[in-house]
């Protein structure tokens, strides 16, 4: 893990197209701004973990159909 020190209004750049900016420091909380392309999902860790759990649960409820395609919880075939 790379650990960096930054002050308010300082930033880091990831892969030339993602910028993380320290917006505010208040006590033990740091507010960060994230500039990233629309196609790059950005989530807080707890939200990301919940999405992964929901995706895993949905994948377990899918069952193969007689044609070999998987069915989704709404009954449609996946591609």
For residue 5, give the DSSP letter.
-
Q: What is the pLDDT of residue 62?
A: 78
Q: Across-strand partners of 16?
A: none
Q: Which of 41, 27, 30, 33 is nearest to 12 (CA)?
A: 33
Cα dist. 58→18, 41, 53, 77 in Å?
30, 20, 9, 14
Residues in Cβ contact with 6 at an 8 Å cutoff, skipping those fewer than 6 apart: 12, 22
Per-residue pLDDT tens, the chain, 79 aa: give them: 999 999 999 999 999 999 999 999 999 999 999 999 999 999 999 999 999 999 999 998 875 655 555 555 555 555 4
Q: What is the pLDDT of residue 69?
A: 55
Longest alpha-carbon distance in the chain: 59
Q: What is the pLDDT of residue 16?
A: 97
Q: What is the pLDDT of residue 61?
A: 87
């Amino acid at each position: 893990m790379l650990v960096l020190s930054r002050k308010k209004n300082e930033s880091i750049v990831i892969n030339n197209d993602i910028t993380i900016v320290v917006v505010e420091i208040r006590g033990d909380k740091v507010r960060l701004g994230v500039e990233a392309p629309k196609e790059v999902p950005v989530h807080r860790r707890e939200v990301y973990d919940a999405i992964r759990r929901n995706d895993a649960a949905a994948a377990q409820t899918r069952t193969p159909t007689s044609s070999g395609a998987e069915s989704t919880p709404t009954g449609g075939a996946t591609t």
